[in-house]
Amino acid sequence: MYRVLYRKYRPRFFADVIGQPQVTETLKNELKSGRLAHAYLFTGSRGTGKTTCSKILSKAVNCLDPKDGDPCGVCEICRGIDDGSIMDVVEIDAASNNGVDDIRTLREEANFTPANAKFRVYIIDEVHMLSIGAFNALLKTLEEPPEHVLFILATTEVHKIPATILSRCQRFDFHRIPPRAIADRLSFVCESENVTIDDNAALLVAGIADGAMRDALSLLDQCMGRSNGHITEEIVRATAGLADKSHLISITENVMKKDSAAFIGIIDDLYKNSMDMARLCDELIGHFRELMLIKTMKQPRDIIVLSEDEYAKSHDQAMKMSLEDIVRDIGILQSAQEKMLRGSNRRIEMEMTAIKLCSEEKARTAVDPAIQSRVEKLEKAMAALRNGAAAPREKVQTRTVLPPPQRPSSEQMEALRKNAVPMSRWAEVIEEISAYSPTIAAGFAGSKAYISGNYILVDSDKDICFEQLRNAELRGKMKDTIKMLTGQVYKLGRYSYPDEQKADDPLAAFKQNLIDSGETVQEI
């Protein structure tokens, strides 16, 4: 029976594990020195070698003739573990055996001595799927296991594991495997299978796998079935359902030329060839990400997986676009992707996105003014660095404290009120202040704000609201918040003043004089 590649070429020794030296070297040293822990935790993204290293470790601790920390692979124990005839090594899928009773059964079995091997090894895969009760049942055994028991826990979501379990395990983090390392391994597998593969095709498979060797081998298996002994980049794209890179480059050219008709024509051609629109949107996001990295990094080639020709074309496009436009285009595409995943018509959504990307005004309001300002500064700094000049320094703004101006006349106040319009984002300002201080935000509950020229006038029937605004730190925080939300600098003022008749009360008059001694409508 045919064995799929990821099973056929699963590493049998630590030296065969690709891209995880921080794990394999440490485990080999522990095995050689005899300093074994009673519980190991392997964590990392899928397909990076967690289960593989678990199997190698289970053989290494039980091997009759270990070689430099590696199992020999030929003794009866090694062969028995490989074919599943050794019952002392148990693999448990926590996704389907996650209850308290399953762990209680494991605890009872752990008390028995091994039948054939030196250690009873329990490999618990996807251990984060265990219930809270199951974790509690495992805790005592994990803390003080019998001398002949070894636990190996594997997970892709380590944050879901209780701290009490984590503290009792020796943790190893598996990293995503670099694309170059995956591509070299794929070339070795193809050579062993009497198949040739182009280097660009191997790198493309590695990029699609996103650091997972198992995913890369599975895709390679499909490509072998589609090819006639030679795997090209076109075969990989057709097998994975990807758009040709030339389509992505052409789409970007149309975006730069504001040619929405040509863009929609490409969408139509890809749709007729059964291209999934959500996948196309995802690939466009990836392409614009590459442009963003080329635009901002000195050595982007180190992390961008492209052929020399594709990189040259992408570099040319990146230099012709502003960083602001690239970031905005990524935002538009991500918004479209979210709508597609929520169930909207994917083709229509993609066509609407094409029109948005090619429009003269790319919905500038969709980008926060503060973020837009930062992007512009970053772009200027990157341009200065490319030209060998120092990045421009921002001028330090100094504030001059002026004596409080006189209280405005009734005519001036009436003019300010007449020109005032309600501020629609005042609730957002109060929400931001709430994160700074919930107590202060409570003082503004029920208040309103109006915009009049370069003033924001606060209207509230609570005196505490205006007393709080006398605080320079809070006033500065509120101004910064308003600038972040609106992109403009405003002064703060009071929409109305207490009735003049209240001044007849000496206490009220004294209180009002104290309030008026601070900043008035020109600058509270």
CB 428: neighbour CB atoms within 10 A?
Answer: 15
Tell me the whole-structure pTM to 2 decimals. Answer: 0.62
pLDDT confidence of residue 390: 52
Does 142 lie in the same domain as 12?
yes
Does 152 lie in the same domain as 44?
yes
On the 0-12 / 13-18 / 19+ scale of CB atoms within 10 A, 364 is exposed
Q: Please list, in sequence order, all residues whose beta carbon lies within 8 angstroms of the beta carbon of residue 172, skipping any fewer than 6 positions away.
A: 22, 23, 26, 27, 40, 41, 42, 43, 53
Does 120 lie in the same domain as 13?
yes
Has residue 378 been placed in a domain?
no
Has residue 380 been placed in a domain?
no
Does 310 lie in the same domain as 234?
no
Of 5 and 417, which is predicted with more confidence?
A: 5
Does 12 lie in the same domain as 132?
yes
Q: With contact defined as beta carbons under 8 Å apart, do 174 and 48 qualify?
A: yes
d(CA 80, CA 70): 16
Has residue 523 been placed in a domain?
no
Does 13 lie in the same domain as 159?
yes
Does 204 lie in the same domain as 138?
no
Does 194 lie in the same domain as 169?
no
Does 325 lie in the same domain as 225?
no
Of 114 and 523, which is predicted with more confidence?
A: 114
Of 341 and 217, which is predicted with more confidence?
A: 217
Does 147 lie in the same domain as 207?
no
d(CA 243, CA 284): 10
Of 360 and 212, which is predicted with more confidence?
A: 212
Q: What is the DSSP string of 4-62?
A: -HHHHT--SSGGG--S-HHHHHHHHHHHHHT---SEEEEEESTTSSHHHHHHHHHHHHH
Does 263 lie in the same domain as 236?
no
Order of strands across the sheet that contains 39-44: 89-93, 120-125, 149-155, 39-44, 170-174
Q: With contact defined as beta carbons under 8 Å apart, do 326 and 299 qualify?
A: no
Over residues 91-127, the pLDDT tens digits come to 999 888 888 988 988 888 888 888 888 999 999 999 9
Residue 370 has pLDDT above 70, yes or no: no
pLDDT confidence of residue 469: 76
CATH number at residue 364: 1.20.272.10
pLDDT confidence of residue 414: 66
Does 147 lie in the same domain as 184?
no
Q: Compute the mean pLDDT over every residue in the chain, rounded to the nearest whole number.
A: 82
**Domain encompassing residue 434:** 410-516
Q: Can you tell me the mean pLDDT for 16-32?
A: 92
The band of 85, judged by pLDDT with boundaries at 50, 70 and 90, is: confident
The band of 504, judged by pLDDT with boundaries at 50, 70 and 90, is: very low
pLDDT confidence of residue 410: 62
In the chain, the number of structural domains is 4
Would you say the C-alpha torsion 231, 233, 235, 240 has a positive or negative sign?
Answer: positive
Has residue 193 been placed in a domain?
yes
Residue 517 has pLDDT above 90, yes or no: no
Residue 365 has pLDDT above 50, yes or no: no
Helices (H), 121-198: 132-143, 163-166, 179-192
Q: Can you tell me the mean pLDDT for 415-434?
A: 76
Has residue 333 been placed in a domain?
yes
Would you say the C-alpha torsion 331, 337, 342, 343 has a positive or negative sign?
Answer: positive
Q: What is the DSSP string of 378-421?
A: HHHHHHHHHTTPPPPPPPPP----PPPPPPPPHHHHHHHHHH-E
Residue 456 has pLDDT above 60, yes or no: yes
Q: Which two tokens stand for residue 384?
A: 């200065």
